[in-house]
Structure 1
Amino acid sequence: MSGSSPVEVAWFGALCDDDYEFLGVADPELASSWEHCRDITLAADGHGFDNILLPSGYTLGIDATAFAAGVAPLTSRIQLLLAVRMGELWLPQLARQLATVDRMLHGRLTVNIISSDIPGETLESAPRYRRTLEWMQVLRTLLDGRPVDFHGEFVTLTLDPPRATTTSGRCPPFYFGGFSEAAKETAAAAADVFLTWPDTVAGVADTVADMKARSERHGRTLRFGLRSHVIVRATSAEARAAADRLVSRLDDRTGAAIRGRSLDAASAGVQRQAELRETSDADGYAEENLWTGIGRARSGAGAAIVGSGEEVRAKLEAYRRVGIDAFILSGYPHLPECERVGNLVLPHLDHAPLVRS
């Protein structure tokens, strides 16, 4: 795969009850649990994925931080991308938790910053992102092992760093996604990796160019990641048939109810996913190998790369050429699709865990 450095390929931990054989049809055996999510994580580790996203939810699923601490000693090489909701925990406590989990992983922790509403509270987008920015700044300071003397709109804290530090003594990379103006500016100012959702290759290129310019205005450099579903089979026809089967028992009312349960159901990013569905062809394809059918029953990343192993690799290569160097992939059900991607896609990619400088 082209690029100046190895690409990072991650899988999805499905801690938020987002696992199905038939999209929209609940299956108790696929509901998030310690056992099920552990098995997904260990399968991704065994198949050579570089990272795994552990999503955070309140209404759905199990706690991501507790899960990360439990699964950390069972893993061998994979990084954990732990989702953390800004504002939900007291900052000094959060810093100690993250440092401890990183120690348990021998330095393999990465952090997915979430700016959604805290459960039980609603805050307008602009102030919510101002709060997120303050939390990111203070959290990075503490995890870098430096004292904090911060007096902002949402955070007032004067404190020495905790004795508990990360393995490296530095803050793990912050992954962050969002498509509103406030979200983009927050990412440009404080994130390390900007995550975008499925889009056309041209659409992703536009996002990368926009965010590069924004980060440069802040005197910073971002990496770029793409969060997407994937359906890969030995042939293109088999992959398209698997996509059709996935939504074969889904009705529009159930799909709308599932989308509406998410805390980010009205976000700018979700609206863009809806636009992709509306402009796709009769079979739901926005462009070659980019299928929007998953978005009928999922808020957030609402499209999948669909095709043979060669076609999926080619699509990842196309995104790579426009600036993406990290992919967070998922597929339904997550365990068998993890195996398929591990067998049909990963062996042909130039990928390895990225060493922190």
Structure 2
Amino acid sequence: MTNGQARGCEVSWFSALCDDDYEFLGVPDARLKSSWAHCRDIVLQAESGGFDNILLPSGYQLGIDTTAFAAAIAPMLNRLALLMAVRVGEAWPPQLARQIATIDQMLGGRLTINIISSDMPGETLASAPRYRRTLEAMHILKAMLSGESLDHDGEFWQLKLDPPRIGTVSGKAPPLYFGGLSEDAREAAAKGCDVFLMWPDKAETVRAIITDMTARSAKYGRTLRFGYRAHVVVRDTETEARTAADRLLSKLDMAQGAAIRAKSLDSNSAGVAAQAALRESASYDGYAEANLWTGIGRARSGCGAAIVGDPDQVLAKLESYRAMGIEAFILSGYPHAAEADLFARHVLPKLDHGPLARD
């Protein structure tokens, strides 16, 4: 995988399309509620700060629509890529392929896709068939977005289609980012995705996941790349960073935090369980290992830990993950625009980074 633009790692930020922006975790703030204007400003902050990509999350219960937002923001960007989350359970793959190709053209070929193995709204499908459906969707999207005729007789979709007229700028499917820790999720990833995403964990666990997923994908003649999704709190000194992290939780009601975690659509997933276990194994001050703080997970489901420290400590932590094989980072912080600015000024210039190479 070579590309003249490729460098050490891809560094992405996060735009809070799903009502996940706070000054104090668990305390709703009207100024930070998901809206076109607020989420647009986060994306523009990421572009001006020098990030390579930005995750646009998706949820049908919270926030604003991801695909519509991506189409609206694409013409406003000059170099930033978009990592558009798509909920497979809610999509008809041929229509989704057309949307992806259109937005990729609007963006000048810089669209990437985060596949979410979602249910249909109101539906609960068991893990094994849900991930089989996700794998089918990935195969259909890759064929259609590579300009291939489709003759698909699957468990969930039966499609016989000519190549679509509209395609991506490259003529190929954009990279598919995907994550999950259950056996079903790991197998779907090994067979279908391009970048396997992980949430924060101890170093030995991250290494074990990379080893496992490398072996699984090799069984299918494939090579995965690896991404790491984490929050970050960076300040001039470690003491200031720890104080800023503690401040985030200073107004959190524990019952409210539990309610936020419980109502999440992924609250029972293997990944969320792993984040809970990481939090429970942490020391009294919430640190699972040096500079990895699990307090974020007390007020949100999903990615529940932050890299906390001074610029050199945060950089060293990221470089340690790169040494393990991580090539893509998806970072965020609270409030998102303010923390993006801090990271862009204090850490990003010290990283060898650029867009991930494409096949």
TM-score, normalised via structure 1 length: 0.98
The answer to whether the Cα contact below 8 Å between 2:7 and 2:355 also exists between their aligned partners in 1 is: no
Whether 1:155 and 2:157 are equivalent positions in the alignment is: yes
Q: Which residue of 1 aligns with 2:127?
A: 125
Q: Structure 1 CA distance, aligned partners of 2:151 and 2:355?
A: 34
Q: Which residue of 2 aligns with 1:43?
A: 45
Q: Which residue of 2 aligns with 1:79?
A: 81
Q: Structure 2 CA distance, aligned partners of 1:353 and 1:325?
A: 10
Code of the aligned partner of 2:177: Y
RMSD: 0.9
Cα deviation for residue 295 of structure 1 reads: 0.3
Code of the aligned partner of 2:166: A
Gaps of 5+ in 1: none
Q: Structure 1 CA distance, aligned partners of 2:23 and 2:353?
A: 29
Code of the aligned partner of 1:222: L
Q: Structure 2 CA distance, aligned partners of 1:214 and 1:355?
A: 22
Q: Structure 1 CA distance, aligned partners of 2:356 and 2:131?
A: 28
The answer to whether the Cα contact below 8 Å between 1:101 and 1:109 also exists between their aligned partners in 2 is: yes
Q: Structure 1 CA distance, aligned partners of 2:12 and 2:319?
A: 15
Code of the aligned partner of 1:113: I
Q: Which residue of 1 aligns with 2:246?
A: 244
Q: Structure 2 CA distance, aligned partners of 1:173 and 1:99?
A: 13
Q: Structure 2 CA distance, aligned partners of 1:245 and 1:166?
A: 44
List per-residue Cα deviations over 1:118-137 (Å, max 9, x = no partner).
21111000100011111110
Cα deviation for residue 5 of structure 1 reads: 4.2
The answer to whether the Cα contact below 8 Å between 1:87 and 1:135 also exists between their aligned partners in 2 is: no
Q: Which residue of 2 aligns with 1:333?
A: 335
Q: Structure 2 CA distance, aligned partners of 1:118 and 1:54?
A: 20
Among candidates 163, 168, 171, match of residue 169 of structure 1: 171
Code of the aligned partner of 2:169: T
Whether 1:299 and 2:301 are equivalent positions in the alignment is: yes
Q: Structure 1 CA distance, aligned partners of 2:34 and 2:89?
A: 24
Cα deviation for residue 260 of structure 1 reads: 1.6
Q: Which residue of 1 aligns with 2:261?
A: 259
The answer to whether the Cα contact below 8 Å between 2:24 and 2:252 also exists between their aligned partners in 1 is: yes
Q: SS at the partner of 1:299?
A: coil
Q: Structure 1 CA distance, aligned partners of 2:287 and 2:357?
A: 36
Cα deviation for residue 117 of structure 1 reads: 1.8
Cα deviation for residue 355 of structure 1 reads: 3.6
List per-residue Cα deviations over 1:3-42 (Å, max 9, x = no partner).
x942100000110000000000000110110000000001
How does 1:263-302 map onto structure 2 within 5 Å? Answer: 263-302=265-304
* Greater mean alpha carbon deviation, residues 232-241 or residues 248-257: 248-257
Q: Which residue of 2 aligns with 1:114?
A: 116
The answer to whether the Cα contact below 8 Å between 2:89 and 2:118 also exists between their aligned partners in 1 is: no
Gaps of 5+ in 2: 1-5
List per-residue Cα deviations over 1:87-130 (Å, max 9, x = no partner).
31221111100000000000000000000222111100010001
Q: Structure 2 CA distance, aligned partners of 1:198 and 1:45?
A: 25
Q: SS at the partner of 2:12?
A: strand
Q: Structure 1 CA distance, aligned partners of 2:302 and 2:89?
A: 21
Superposed structure 1 runs of 4+ greater than 3 Å apart: none
Code of the aligned partner of 1:22: F
The total of aligned residue pairs comes to 354
Q: SS at the partner of 1:21?
A: coil
List per-residue Cα deviations over 1:157-196 (Å, max 9, x = no partner).
0001211100011000000000000000000000000000
Q: Structure 1 CA distance, aligned partners of 2:76 and 2:134?
A: 32
Q: SS at the partner of 1:87?
A: helix
Q: Structure 2 CA distance, aligned partners of 1:116 and 1:159?
A: 25
Q: Structure 1 CA distance, aligned partners of 2:52 and 2:182?
A: 29
Identity, in percent, stands at 65
The answer to whether the Cα contact below 8 Å between 2:56 and 2:82 also exists between their aligned partners in 1 is: yes
Q: Which residue of 1 aligns with 2:35?
A: 33
Q: SS at the partner of 2:326?
A: coil
Q: Structure 2 CA distance, aligned partners of 1:104 and 1:204?
A: 36
